[in-house]
Structure 1
Amino acid sequence: MRGLDISLYVVRRLAQAVPLIFVVILLNFFLIHAAPGDPIDFLVGSMDASPEYIEDLRREFGLDQPLGTQLWAYLTRMAHFDLGYSLRYRQSVLDLILSRMPATLLLMVTALVASSAVGILLGVIAAQRPYSATDQTSTFLALAGYSMPVFWLGQLVLIVFSLHLGWFPTQGMYSLRAPAEGWGRIVDVLHHLALPAFTYSLYHLALIFRLTRIKMQETLSLDFIVTARAKGASEGRVVYGHALRNAILPVVTVIGMNFGFMLAGSVLTETVFAWPGMGRLLYEAIQARDYPVLMGLFTVLSLMVIAANVVTDLIYAVIDPRVVYR
């Protein structure tokens, strides 16, 4: 019966997402078209183009049509899962996004897993020793990490670890001289991944650490923890089997929210490290006023955030069986 309830809940959430996605598409369409700049100017560049050639370009991409006509054409294509054609890259927007998605997911999942695991572990350790040197040092470092802007931290680690020490490459996802496949390729990608993943994860690690520490301190002072210790349960079972399981739900909520924040924040990290993902594609599309790519990216990112929220809700059922879906 519980499996049926969860299935119905997922169907309802996905059904609720349909009007939300429609509103997102409308907002994206009008905001992007209201922004200053003309994609045709970018395509023409410094070339001395005739007015006839410019009009032909506008006609080719449908930019000569009224805004309402352009919106209807775009919604019609979206109904057939067609995100349009990129003005800059001259290829399908969907294919372009799918080609960049693996790089973003690799960076984001690595940073999310690392920040979540380390943040929870440090939060539990600090909560067991309140006001100790370990607790105060961890709190200070978390505050520092929480306060650093991503773009500034990225440039700082590039200067220190890439330019001065030479430990890591400065940009990109892989070296041109690296093997095309096999373990050599994997090691090369991981070598390039280290700095952007560290930069990407530090802010979220600090946030998860602080929340875990607070919730664990609250939970460890509750009566059922005192009872568990009085019954002779080991400290590890008390902390990780009882306290952490009860304190983890708000932390899971923040991790699910971090998924959306990481998607939005990928623009800065991927731009600093020239990481070939969706964030850098978004930056390039903004520069080029590539309307189809911008609207396609915003739509895909919105769908990914909604899916992450649904998955977060379902994880609650695994952690806490008392959660009921209606």
Structure 2
Amino acid sequence: MPSYASFLIRRLFQSFLIVVGIVIINFVVLNIPPGDMADVMAGTAGGGDPGYADALREEFGLDEPITVQFVNYMTSLLRLDLGYSFTRNMPVMQAIMDRLGATLLLMSTAILLAFVLGVLMGMIAGKNAGKPLDAVISVLALIGYATPLFWLGLLLILLFTINLGWLPSGGMKTIGMRGPWWQQWLDIGEHLILPAFTLAVFYLAIFARLMRSSVIEVAGQDFVRTARAKGMTEGRVYLRHVTANAMLPVLTMLGLQIGGMLGGSVVVETIFSWPGLGRMTYDAIFARDVNLLLGVLFMSSVCVVVTNLLVDLLYSWIDPRIGLNG
């Protein structure tokens, strides 16, 4: 227990340092380009008077030196105050919370689909290495890995919405939808199928390829041969000995891919008009809403770090020797 507690404390401290480093990098990078939101607001209002833009900068504290702005931002962040979004006309925290649920629903569905199917396909391919079934799964994984998200999303809309009329093409729910809660959730589920599958395909291919190679490697280990020599059936060998050990690299990759999936969700949410953080981030970039961008990046980095921390804990639970010494 003491070893596990020290492992958890060490990981929490590392996670804190990572989040602080990400916050600093985000602030510096977003404030390097010329221009600011005062220019955008003045242009949107049709104002060409430099005095109007200067007044806006003074109002939002943008006339202060960058070091003072950073200290003010970090002070507000310690109070969990992410600032005010001028494009949304509301606090940044409220704007994020309004969209966070939709993004978490999309990402959790996609990552669960990719992980379960990827592990299953990789397990089948690894167990049948060199056989036709292995070749079919490997080709499918290669196609999924090489297919661009935007092209796949548009192709699915063309097939399942325009040609077949089976699934909606965008949004999170039907406008004006009324009925019992279960009907509303079914409606959300129908809207979720295409974007979740589009986002999952690339990561499904990664997990399948990694699981296949891991199964092949673990299946040749001495402890697996010993289990077979003791008369254990092939199914029990793979279920009890091969699967758990082969999944360790896949779990590591799962944590690493969460950040990439956040980036992919921007494309998917834009294609399918999904009301999540990705679509809001896309709009905030062109509006130069730095406060909103910093808030989204901060919350995204926290989600990624927390996910990696949970994966580390799961990793150490599956194999304590690796986790506690890592």
Q: Tell me, yes or no, whether TM beats 0.5.
A: yes
Match of 1:23 among 21, 25, 38: 21
Give the Cα–Cα distance (whole angstroms) in 2 for the partners of residues 164 and 253 of structure 1: 40
CA positional deviation for 1:149? 1.5
Query: 1:81 matched to which residue of 2?
Result: 80
Give the Cα–Cα distance (whole angstroms) in 2 for the partners of residues 36 and 138 of structure 1: 49
Query: 2:279 matched to which residue of 1?
Result: 280
CA positional deviation for 1:272? 1.2
8 Å contact kept, 2:317–2:323:
no
Match of 2:38 among 27, 37, 40: 40
Q: 1:257 to 1:292 in 2, by over 3 A?
A: same
Give the Cα–Cα distance (whole angstroms) in 1 for the partners of residues 132 and 216 of structure 2: 16
CA positional deviation for 1:116? 0.6
Query: 1:5 matched to which residue of 2?
Result: 3
CA positional deviation for 1:7? 2.8
Give the Cα–Cα distance (whole angstroms) in 1 for the partners of residues 277 and 248 of structure 2: 30
Deviates more, 1:262-271 or 1:226-235: 226-235
Give the Cα–Cα distance (whole angstroms) in 2 for the partners of residues 174 and 253 of structure 1: 34
1:312-323 mapped onto 2 (5 Å cutoff): 312-323=311-322
Alignment deviations for residues 92-128 of structure 1 (CA, whole Å, 9 cap, x no partner): 1112112211111111111111111111111111112
Q: Identity percentage over the alignment? A: 41
Query: 2:221 matched to which residue of 1?
Result: 222
Query: 1:120 matched to which residue of 2?
Result: 119
1:101-250 mapped onto 2 (5 Å cutoff): 101-179=100-178, 182-250=181-249
SS state of the match for residue 274, structure 1? Answer: coil
CA positional deviation for 1:224? 2.3
Give the Cα–Cα distance (whole angstroms) in 2 for the partners of residues 92 and 181 of structure 1: 32
Query: 2:92 matched to which residue of 1?
Result: 93
Give the Cα–Cα distance (whole angstroms) in 2 for the partners of residues 237 and 226 of structure 1: 13
Query: 1:300 matched to which residue of 2?
Result: 299
Query: 1:256 matched to which residue of 2?
Result: 255
CA positional deviation for 1:212? 0.6
CA positional deviation for 1:69? 2.1
Deviates more, 1:86-95 or 1:38-47: 38-47
Give the Cα–Cα distance (whole angstroms) in 2 for the partners of residues 24 and 38 of structure 1: 21
CA positional deviation for 1:46? 4.8
Q: 1:181 to 1:6 in 2, by over 3 A?
A: farther
Q: 1:212 to 1:51 in 2, by over 3 A?
A: same
Q: 1:97 to 1:46 in 2, by over 3 A?
A: closer
Give the Cα–Cα distance (whole angstroms) in 2 for the partners of residues 129 and 20 of structure 1: 41
Deviates more, 1:33-42 or 1:237-246: 33-42
Give the Cα–Cα distance (whole angstroms) in 2 for the partners of residues 37 and 54 of structure 1: 11
Structure 1 unaligned regions, length at least 5: none
Alignment deviations for residues 199-220 of structure 1 (CA, whole Å, 9 cap, x no partner): 0000000000001111111222
Q: Which amino acid aligns with 1:136?
A: A
CA positional deviation for 1:54? 3.1
8 Å contact kept, 1:61–1:87:
no
8 Å contact kept, 2:312–2:323:
no
Q: Which amino acid aligns with 1:232?
A: G
What TM-score comes out, normalization by structure 2 length?
Answer: 0.93
Alignment deviations for residues 18-54 of structure 1 (CA, whole Å, 9 cap, x no partner): 3332222222112112224432333344543244433
Q: Which amino acid aligns with 2:19?
A: I
Q: Which amino acid aligns with 1:270?
A: E
Q: 1:180 to 1:87 in 2, by over 3 A?
A: farther
Deviates more, 1:164-173 or 1:13-22: 13-22
RMSD: 1.8
SS state of the match for residue 325, structure 1? Answer: helix
CA positional deviation for 1:64? 2.4
Q: 1:313 to 1:189 in 2, by over 3 A?
A: same
Give the Cα–Cα distance (whole angstroms) in 1 for the partners of residues 276 and 142 of structure 2: 29
What TM-score comes out, normalization by structure 1 length?
Answer: 0.93
Give the Cα–Cα distance (whole angstroms) in 1 for the partners of residues 131 and 59 of structure 2: 68
Give the Cα–Cα distance (whole angstroms) in 1 for the partners of residues 302 and 248 of structure 2: 23
Give the Cα–Cα distance (whole angstroms) in 2 for the partners of residues 308 and 224 of structure 1: 31
CA positional deviation for 1:270? 1.0
8 Å contact kept, 2:149–2:268:
yes
SS state of the match for residue 275, structure 1? Answer: coil
Q: Which amino acid aligns with 1:53?
A: Y
Q: Which amino acid aligns with 2:3?
A: D
Give the Cα–Cα distance (whole angstroms) in 1 for the partners of residues 108 and 97 of structure 2: 16
Give the Cα–Cα distance (whole angstroms) in 1 for the partners of residues 44 and 257 of structure 2: 42
CA positional deviation for 1:290? 0.4
8 Å contact kept, 1:174–1:192:
yes
